[in-house]
Amino acid sequence: MISIVIPAHNEAGEIDKLLQEFSSFEGLELIIAEDASTDGTPEIVQEFASRNRNVTLIRSTPLTGKGGAIKRGLAAATGDVLGFIDADGSIHPDDFMRLVDAIYGGADLAIGSRRLPASVILKPQPPLRRILGSAYAALARALLQITERDLQCGCKAFRRSLWDSLSVKCDGFAFDTELVAKAHKKGFAIAEVPITWRNKAGSNVKVRRDVISMLRCLLSVRDEIRS
């Protein structure tokens, strides 16, 4: 069984399409970790789940953040292969399944990457977001002594044994980085997989607030893995 968690905060415009696309795959457990949405997202998911037994809705109030939503979803997952994908439609389910293939091929953690030669960017982020993203990745690699290129792409798959052996604490957008850093520290096999990606308008990232939170998490992770 493959369990996929989709964290969703105000994704009413995209979530139904993503669920429809995933419904063509067999043997998937879809867990929508809804996070204090105010735009009808949970109602859309609940209606879809009423027609699809492999879809589960988990709701949360108040807002906890991307990492918190993913952790709630993973706590309910039953699969041997786990993972998560952004709800905004920037990544197609086909790309997630390429990560699953990497797990079956021997990786413990597979990371969707926008920064490999074979990656395809159909619509790039705005310049400021690209600059901030590159700066964050460079800082994270230096602080945490990891080599992976794209830490924040919202598409990752991993073995249950990996997740069960880690304690990932960040509830915000630095969740991905902490996951990779701690897997790297423990010597798990990590594969970066090229994906096709399209920037979606209306990101839930608030630059000033979330960048500060991510930097705090980076420093906390650095201190933890060095101790």
Give Cβ neighbours of residue 70 (< 8 Å, ≥ 6 apart).
5, 7, 33, 84, 175
Q: How many domains does the chain have?
A: 1
Q: What is the pLDDT of residues 47-66, one digit of tens each?
A: 999 999 999 999 988 889 99
Mean pLDDT of the chain: 93
What residue numbers bound the domain in which 160 lies? 2-226
pLDDT average, residue stretch 80-100: 96
Q: Is 116 within 8 Å of 191 (Cβ atoms)?
A: no
> Distances in Å between the alpha carbon of 205 and those of 56, 96, 132, 181?
25, 22, 12, 21
Q: 89: phi > 0 → left, psi -120 to 50 → alpha, else beta; which?
A: left
Looking at the predicted structure, is the pLDDT value of residue 187 above 90?
A: yes
Looking at the predicted structure, is the pLDDT value of residue 202 above 70?
A: no
* pLDDT bucket at 189, cuts 50 / 70 / 90: very high
The pLDDT, as a whole number, for residue 132 is: 87
Pairing status of strand 196-198 against strand 120-123? parallel
Rg (CA), the chain: 16
How many other CB atoms sit within 10 Å of the CB of residue 48? Answer: 18
What six digits make up the tokens of 51? 């027609």
Looking at the predicted structure, is the pLDDT value of residue 206 above 80?
A: no
CATH number of the domain within which 19 lies: 3.90.550.10
Count how many Cα atoms sit within 13 Å of the Cα of residue 94 in the half-sphere of its side chain. Answer: 5
Q: Is 158 within 8 Å of 96 (Cβ atoms)?
A: no
Partners of residue 197 on adjacent β-strands: 91, 121
